[in-house]
Structure 1
Amino acid sequence: MKKILVPTDFSKTAEHALKVAAQLAKTYDFEIYLLHLLELPLQEVDPLNAHSELPEAMFFMKLAHQKFEALMSKDFLKDIKVHETIKPDNSFSGIIDKCHELKIDFIVMGSHGVSGLKELFIGSNAEKVVRTSDIPVLVVKKEHADFHVYDFVFASNFKNECKHTYKQAIEFARLFDAKIHLLMVNTASKFITSKDAKSRITEFVKNTRFENYSINIYNDKSVEAGILNFASEIDADLIGISTYGRQGLAHFFSSNISEDLVNHAKRPVMTFKI
């Protein structure tokens, strides 16, 4: 993995994500592609055309460049290869298009921490990217002065359709030298015995050639509550989730999560598309 894309609107939230990306870049010699989507009235504006007949568009383009210059001069980006990218596009598909064009390995983006995971999983900018991204997305909800991943929760139903996403999770675990805590949440409505659950997980990880993991069956009132509560109990550094494209994370994180539970979920979340 060599390239990280960080979408930015030059907010503090976006800067939190960039700081995490910078730490990863310094540790693993990654390149950062800093992307700003410029919401122009006409999408056909050419950002490289200095003779544009749209002075308003060019004003916003120059303003974005000035903000880039201020951001790129910050100490935490020193000695890191950062590429400035502006795309005249106000749709979130523009982020994914740019990832494909640049052959990005994963996305790091910020999400407001005020509402915890509720903001992430219900209609936020981050969730819109997660819904459409076929590239892993690391969502950061607060500033991390020292970003590290020692304990990585990978929550799944451990069916065959998730094997591809688990292989991606293993890549990141190896990168961080992290332990993966395989987690199946047992609920009253979808009960499975511990014996059957362990058997399914054991079969799932067979031939993956990754030994630094634990198997965990956790009982809770809902899948989403179980994931968050388990992650809290082991003080996990990262939660990994498989997503189903445009369905987003609705099958894991539903609107009935209590405010108290959601507000305490401050951990980074990484998504992998099935």
Structure 2
Amino acid sequence: MKKLLVPTDFSEQAENALKVAAQLAKKHDCEIYLLHILEMPLHKVDALNSYSDLPEAVFFMKLAHRKFEAIKSKDYLDGLVVHETVDFHEIFKGIFHVCKKHDIDLIIMGSNGISGLREMLIGSNTEKVVRTSETPVLVVKNEHKTFKVKDFVFASDFKEESKSTYKKAIKFANVLDAKMHLLMVNTPNKFITSQDANKRMQDFATSSTFSNYTINFYNDMSIEKGIMNFSQSIKADLIGMSTHGRQGISHFFNGSISEDLVNHAKRPVITFKI
């Protein structure tokens, strides 16, 4: 883990993410890429012309640069390599572009969560990134003066398709020197016997040499509630999940537990794309 991307709108939530990134960067000798997206109505602009020819673009880029300079002068970034980037895209497309260009290892985003009708109709920018990103996404809700992960809950259905994300989670747990708690949640609508659940989780656990883990089977009314309640019961520092990256009508009907957790969980959440 050497390159961290922190998208920012210069809000308090974005700075909370940057503070976490700074702690990880200092501990693991990482570079930070600080990204600000300008979602401007550029659809009427001739694609052959430079954005720099637009007075509005010039103004907002200069404004962003001043804000970057103010952030980069913060004490918690002392001694770190911080790159600033301004891009003109939809947020999740801009993040995808920067990740590919700079080979980003981890995206760290701030979020205050959303609820109700707005969540159902449009979702949050963080949710869109979680849904589409090929790069792992760490979502931070609150300020962490000391970001240390001792107990890391990895929730899954432990089917074969999730093994690739389990390997990514193991890699992250090793970097953080964290204990991983493998968790399957049993619900009335998706009932599974303890014997079958244990067999699936044991199969995952023995598929690698990683040994710092526990196996847990938890009953609750929904998977989301089960993950949050179990995490609370052990005072977990981080929740990890796979995301399928569903789009369009499939996402609307099926939803995504990982995106719900990003919106509703009080703890940091990291997602890994299947």
TM-score by length of 1: 0.89
Which residue is 1:165 aligned to?
165
Runs of 4+ in 1 over 6 A off after TM superposition: 118-122
Residue pairs, 1:1-274, within 5 angstroms: 1-42=1-42, 44=47, 46=50, 52-112=52-112, 123-247=123-247, 250-252=255-257, 265-274=265-274
Cα distance, 1:66 vs structure 2: 0.5
Q: Per-residue deviation at 1:101?
A: 0.8
Percent identical among aligned pairs is: 61
Cα distance between partner residues in 2 of 1:111 and 1:244: 20
Conserved in 1, the CA contact under 8 Å of 2:91 and 2:125?
Answer: no
Q: How many angstroms apart in 2 are the aligned matches of 1:121 and 1:253?
A: 17
Letter in 2 for 1:36: H
Report how far residue 250 of structure 1 moved: 2.3
Structure 1 position 46, deviation (Å)? 4.0
Q: Secondary structure at the match of 2:53?
A: coil
1:138–1:270 CA contact under 8 A, matched in 2: yes
Q: Which runs of 5+ in 2 are unaligned?
A: none
What amino acid sits opposite 2:77 in the alignment?
L
Change (3 A) 1:120 1:240: farther
Matches of 1:120 and 1:213, distance apart in 2:
35
Relative to structure 1, is the Cα distance of residues 254 and 134 closer, same or farther in structure 2, using a 3 angstrom cutoff? closer
Residue 120 of structure 1: how far off its partner (Å):
11
Q: Paired residues, what number?
A: 262
Aligned-partner residue type, residue 177 of structure 1: D
Gapped runs of 5+ residues in structure 1?
none
State the Cα distance separating 1:89 from its structure 2 match: 1.8
User: Contact between 1:6 and 1:21, CA under 8 Å: does it hold in 2?
Assistant: yes
What amino acid is the match of 2:184?
A: M
